[in-house]
Every structure is written in structure tokens, then in C-alpha cells.
Amino acid sequence: MRAVPVDENMAVIKKVGVIGAGQMGNGIAHVAAVAGFDVVLNDVSGDRLKSGMATINGNLSRQVAKNVITEDVKAKALGRIALTETLEGLADCDLVIETAVEKEEVKRKLFHDLCAVLKPEALIASNTSSISITRLASTTDRPERFIGIHFMNPVPLMELVELIRGIATDDFTFEAAKEFVNALGKQVAVSEDFPAFIVNRILLPMINEAIYTLYEGVGNVEAIDAAMKLGAHHPMGPLELADFIGLDTCLSIMQVLHEGLADSKYRPCPLLVKYVEAGWLGRKTQRGFYDYRGAKPVPTR
């Protein structure tokens, strides 16, 4: 069993709770289990838990096929993951990482309910991609033990994790989080607690500008994505990437930037708003800037 010391007066991190079995949550559960931590994966939906475990199993199998891990590592990792549909199932975790939808009111309620069942010395982290860590921490009974641990998607493949301290985050919480991320084999980038942190502060305005470029008729979907793939060597075009991230998440981050920094350059493109209102959220709903319902993706504009 993997263990990360918090400090000499506190328990070590042995058991990690993950709230949310979606693409970020199951990815975090995957890498933590492979690294030797016991994991409790939580979701209110039993179907999402089953789907999350199926994704973890499939991704582990891919890693075995590519000789990244062995069958033995895969089997042991799967054996370390327990499932729960209640927050009470996280009661004995040493660290709990929240990966709920990027809506502050949802996260605030989750943390309020989680604190009621969590042991006093446990650490809490949010995987938020944009929301103030200081503000989220203030809704808990332990702001000094609260930190932002922002993984990149897809978690098993991406090397970077952003660590964000809130104004109240203690040194031991920061050091424990850093040790935990290092134990996963990831690289740490430390960000100040500003809207959208580092990666999304740079990435999302680029995506939003690509959507404006489409909205204003400068180029169509294929031309814009080809331009950035071939002209800037981006592995994915910005509109394809927006679909991968989820257009609702893109919109949420742009809204956080626009409201938090009060600068018109962060105004979400009206076309992005329209797609979200239509429920065309990208890959997860089969339609966004591309239609994924056929054999190959087809641009929708």
C-alpha cells in the first residue's frame, strides 16, 4: 500500500476518496490505484460508477497492451478500488478529491455534506479547473486543509497537475499534496489562486477566440482546426479540443474568467452559448462542433 506522510503529527495519506466517476474522476482513481493507494470512488449514480469502472478497466488494458504496466499491476490496481454511492463511504479517507461539475453551488454543497462525515484530520482537494480555491475552502470546516489539485484530461496520459493554494491553505497541506502528486509520477505546476489558474487562463481564451473565428465566418470548422494543427503543430484543433473538454465546461471557465477578471476579452462567444443551450456539448452528447453519431466526425458548421 502506498503512503504519503502529511506531517509528524498527522496520519499518512493511504486511502484516497474521489467524488465523481466521470472522465476526470475515473482517471484520478486509475492513476492513484496504479501508484499503490487504496481508492474509494464515489458517485450518486450506480450506473456512472459501473461505467467509470469499465473505463478504468479498458484504460488499464490499453496500458498493458502498450507495455506501460503489467497484468499483475492492472489486477492489483483494480483490487484497490472500492465503490460507494454515499459520502459516508468516504468517511475514513485521508484525502478526498472532488471532481464534480464545474458549478460552484454544486461543489459548495458537496463540501458542506462531506465535512459532516469526514474525519477531522483528512485533507480535501478540488479538481476545479477555474473556481477560486479560497472561496471553496471557506465553505468547509477545514480551510487550512483544503487545496486545489487540478489534473489534466485524460488523466492517465497527461503529465501535469496544477497545485493551487487558497489563502488559508497550510504548508503541511501543500507539501502533502505535492508528495501525493509526485507519487503518481506527475509533474507539479504551482499556480496562484486566480480565475482559471495557468493552463485554462491561456488555453480557454484561445478556444473561445477560435469559436469567434467560426462565428464571424473567418473560417469553417475544418479550416480552423486544420490551421492550428498544421500551422501551429497543435495535436488537436481548438474546436475538436473544445468538444473533447465539453462545451459546457468551456463556457463555465470563460464565465469564471469574465466575471472574475472583469475584462471584455474574456466574454464567452455567443455561438458557444448557443451550442450549450442546444445541449450540443461535444463528444459526451455526440454533437458539438462535430457530429459524432456516424462512422467519422462531421463538422456541424
Distance CA 158, CA 137 (A): 26
Would 8 be classed as within a structural domain?
A: no
| Catalytic (active site) residue 150 | yes
Would 106 be classed as within a structural domain?
A: yes
Residues 86 and 204 in one domain: no
Residue 296: is it exposed, middle or buried by C-beta count within 10 angstroms (0-12/13-18/19+)?
exposed
Residues 263 and 157 in one domain: no
Q: What is the pLDDT, as a whole number, of residue 9?
A: 47
Residues 126 and 257 in one domain: no
pLDDT lower than 70: segments of the chain: 1-11
Please report, for residues 63, 93, 101, 148, 219, the alpha-carbon distance to residue 161 in angstroms, rounded to integers and kept in the order given: 20, 21, 18, 10, 34
Selected catalytic residue, list 26, 30, 150, 252 = 150
Phi, psi of 299 (to 5 degrees): -60, 145
* pLDDT tens sequence across 164-177: 999 999 999 999 99
**Domain final residue pick, 191, 211, 242:** 191
CATH number at residue 153: 3.40.50.720
Q: pTM for the full model?
A: 0.89
Distance CA 74, CA 61 (A): 7
Q: What is the pLDDT, as a whole number, of residue 2?
A: 62
Selected catalytic residue, list 26, 129, 191, 208 = 129
Residues 182 and 203 in one domain: no
Selected catalytic residue, list 191, 200, 208, 252 = 200
| Catalytic (active site) residue 258 | no
Intra-chain end-to-end CA distance of the chain, in Å: 51
Residues 36 and 73 in one domain: yes
Nearest to 96 by CA among 77, 76, 109, 110: 110
| Catalytic (active site) residue 59 | no
Selected catalytic residue, list 98, 162, 240, 252 = 162
CATH number at residue 238: 1.10.1040.50
Number of domains in the chain: 2
Would 4 be classed as within a structural domain?
A: no
Would 72 be classed as within a structural domain?
A: yes
Bond preceding residue 154 cis, omega within 30 of 0:
yes
Residues 211 and 138 in one domain: no
Residue 228 structural domain: 199-299
Cell numbers 468551456 label which residue?
Answer: 250
| Catalytic (active site) residue 30 | no
Q: What is the pLDDT, as a whole number, of residue 4?
A: 58
